[in-house]
Structure 1
Amino acid sequence: MPAGVDRLKEAIRDVVGVERWFDLSNETLQLLLDEGFKPRSLAGAQLLTRAMCNHRTLDEPAAALERLVQLGAADIELESDGLSNVYGPDSHLENALFCQRGSLVAPMLARGALMTNGVPDQAKLDRAFWIAIVSRLLPQARLIWDAVPGLRPQLRYPDTSKKVAPLLSVVYLLGEWNVSNENNGAAMAQWLASLGADIRSKNAAGETLLHMAADKGDAELVRWLLEQGLSPNAADEDGRPAVVSAEEETTVMLLLDAGSVDEKFKPELKRRAEKNAWRRVLAWLDASKP
């Protein structure tokens, strides 16, 4: 398309102000309010849901969203989407957590997001806490932990990937993180451990938290778990230690330096190291030859 046409299109967009209708801003919200829009309505709830998870504006100031919450949009819950996965958002509060809108959590809690008919709801409390962990939002997880006097979130959650759902320590939720936030793993694991969460248990596949952290390439969490005494040689149900599926060279080296590797896994590890140009890993493997 000729450059002149592109410039004309941009000029028209600027004059009309199209962009303000793509993403929620204070200006857009005020225009809607001036036209009689009622935030505390089904339409307001739908607008809040779409705007919270609009990933194009995750780095934008959340003032318009916070104002929408204060005007009551979060008071109207949408019909459940029927998600069976405990990590999936099923309320405005859970959406805010899942979509990394941490600044909306406190105002939603203040408006009773963890209540049902004026009574604290244990199920809502648990789900919000679990999703805060999945999303690695430590300040918000702390808020939720203390949100209801006399009531705490559960530190074990059902593994719904199994027909008979066993209860797992909440630390395993760190292995299911929301990909838009890969931080806070070690800090959150340390805090959860201080609350009494078990960091040494295995899931139904025989994996330790070290396996999951290594698989995600979370070097900081791997380092902290090793410092807590978790064995780098612990095997899952298939007999594989964490290093075999570890991502990122730094993570692999942490595990190699902390323990040995069975000879039968070295060829696979070498192929991965060659494919990813992990020079330190290749040097370690060469030095460990019998």
Structure 2
Amino acid sequence: MIVTRFAPSPNGPLHLGHAYSAMVAHDLAKQAGGRFLLRIEDIDGPRSRPELADAFRRDLAWLGLEWEEVPAQSTRLAGYSAAAQDLLARGYLYRCTCTRAEIEAQGAKMGSQGLVYPGTCKTRPADPDRPAALRLDVARALADVGALTWEDAPAGPQVADPREAGDVVIVRKDAPASYHLAATLDDAADGVTLVTRGMDLFAATPIHRLLQALLGLPVPRWHHHGLLVDDSGHKLAKRRGSPSLADRREAGEDGLLLAEQLRLHSFPAGISLASA
């Protein structure tokens, strides 16, 4: 059975890009007689606003989507901690106290997941008095698990090479887990068999595939879909003030009609679908 999910973070309202992503996951599951899950990713500290989760539910219902809701991330902290401690005890994580400014000063280059950490704290003892993140020692992990593959439904078989992203953060200084760890554990716990998300996260998948191998988790298939972009070519985003679904809903717009237009790739003026 196909099981998909939509996993928004309640740190800002949903917009058309979220609607499109939710509908891709919903329709792939429903067309195959599967299950579509809603999971609220609410571990972003004070930025997470519980009232937005209620707005998300109203938005999805307005679009005519049907879902099963699974426990929010804030209820899963013990599992994140246990997995992180397991990886740390096995030597796959190391403490890192570097700030972004320090990493930039070290000459770090941009990679698929942001600045590629040069491994400074891997070769020197981290200051025990400074806040520390936990980073994944990618080279050591790959040496132990060997070659990894994964499959993207649109793009086909892929070879997982997480080295381009460098030693990514697995446990943040300010949160109980990074996106990489939390999403990987949650998808396994929820029985997700087809991970649907935007092409902007395609490059994160090798990291998730590596974590699955290290933690003995099941391996799903992925479906990375195109992104809705504005007329300047930027993907729709909360931080850019993209019009919210809540505003459209409260203005009396027909959610079912909007959903059908999105399915037909008939987007509002100034918005288009980009494949990368």
Report the TM range for the smaller structure's normalisation. Answer: under 0.3
Bigger strand share: 2
Output the TM-score relative to the length of structure 2.
0.24
Output the TM-score relative to the length of structure 1.
0.23
